Amino acid sequence: MNAHRTFSADTAASVDAGAQLRDASAHPRSWHAQMPDDKVMLRAVRDLTKDLGEAKPHVFWPDMLASAAVGYAGMAGAIGLQNGWLALGCAVVSVLAFYRALLFIHELSHIHRNALPGFRLAWNALVGVPMLTPSFMYEGVHTLHHKRTQYGTVEDPEYLPLALMKPWSLPGFVIIAALLPVGLLIRFGILNPLSAIIPPLRQLVWQRASALAINPDFRRRPPEGDIKRRVFWQEIGGTAMALAYFASVPLFGWKPLLTGIAIISAVAVFNQVRTLVAHLWENDGEAMTVTAQYLDSVNVPPPSPFAAIWAPVGLRYHALHHLMPSMPYHDLGECHRRLKAGLDSDSSYHGANHAGLRPLVARLARSTMGGRG
């Protein structure tokens, strides 16, 4: 049965939301953060996906382990091969594999602590700590981005009104990501040991350099509960790894370290480009309804041919993820198929589905041409 008709008691609200959506398509900044919630859509999200949502170990483990293994194999080839083209090919493979492996940090920030026993430890040991991005840098931070009253506001660590900023802000936003590996080496290899003996520095490092955030005004609060113990051990691991990277130069020369930095830098840039199109970035600090948050976010569903590469681990369904944050990545495709089939064409659900990376980047670039500055 069609879900839109099943929940006919809410049809008027749904039509109002659909009308505002159509206005938004013509005038991207005309829609209001407090547009009415599309209750039909929200109820369908709940009712059509009841049987989904359990994290499947037989999907998570092979995917993460294979991605990490291919990443390391590609890096070894990039370092060891003498043929420049073969080395470059290995580097490209390593970037794509490590990119996918790294993005499991997003799943770790949402799955229940008792789901997938041992997965967090294994991911940190194989990916997070070696890449100097242990899971504490996202856990307890990313969930703030999903808080109903914080999304899109100054308290959101992962939101900037990029569509309302100057054109130069976009290339700057991407270029700064290339410096991430060097920043992480300094953070874990230099600032972390110093902060152990200089308390004010410790507070500064924690507040300003302990979160994967894009909002420069975000200040992280002290860790509490279970994460406090994880932070301690992950920081020790990160510092030990950073010092090992420094020590590798007199032992093996600069090539291994610089190659590793180049690969992780490319991963960071790749992820920053994806971040550019994760949202429309059109909110100017106002608290938003759930439907407004959804429409400010982006799905790039099939048949977009390359979205699974540049938005892996379920991130091609980023808008849908904002409606159901705890849904594991392997179920999002099925959720999308059910909602697309179950909701009528005037549902707000279809308003967050976009064709691909290029038109989204072009839309954002055009928007900055008239930005507020």
* Better pLDDT: 101 or 371: 101
Q: Are 157 and 144 in contact (CB under 8 A)?
A: yes
Distance of CA 224 to the CA centre of its chain: 23
Distance of CA 70 to the CA centre of its chain: 21
Q: How far apart are the C-alpha atoms of 199 and 184, rounded to whole Å?
A: 20
Residue whose entry in the numeric block shows the structure tokens 């992780």:
264
* Better pLDDT: 7 or 150: 150
Q: What is the crossing angle of helices 254-276 and 357-369, to 10°?
A: 70
Q: How far apart are the C-alpha atoms of 246 and 240, rounded to whole Å?
A: 10
238-286 pLDDT, tens per residue? 999 999 999 999 999 999 999 999 999 999 999 999 999 999 998 888 8
Residue 222 has pLDDT above 50, yes or no: yes
Q: Are 217 and 159 in contact (CB under 8 A)?
A: no
> What is the percentage of the chain residues whose pLDDT exceeds 70?
90
Respond yes or no on whether the N-terminal peptide bond of residue 222 is cis (omega within 30° of 0).
no
Residue whose entry in the numeric block shows the structure tokens 């055009």:
366
Q: How far apart are the C-alpha atoms of 290 and 45, rounded to whole Å?
A: 12
As a whole number, the mean pLDDT across the chain is: 90
Residue 234 has pLDDT above 50, yes or no: yes
Residue 34 has pLDDT above 90, yes or no: no
In eight-state DSSP terms, residue 317 is B
Which pair of structure tokens corresponds to residue 220? 């992280």
Residue 370 has pLDDT above 80, yes or no: no
253-265 pLDDT, tens per residue? 999 999 999 999 9
Taking the CA atoms of 38, 366, 173 and 310 in sequence, report the sign of the dihedral they define. Answer: positive
Q: How far apart are the C-alpha atoms of 98 and 285, rounded to whole Å?
A: 33
pLDDT for the residue numbered 134: 98
Which pair of structure tokens corresponds to residue 266? 């490319």
pTM: 0.90
DSSP-assigned beta bridge partners for residue 90 = none
**Which stretch of 1-5, 77-81, 129-133, 329-333 has the lowest confidence by average pLDDT?**
1-5
**Per-position b or e across 205-234, b if 16+ CB within 10 A of its CB:** bbeebbbbbbbeebebeebeeeeeebbeeb
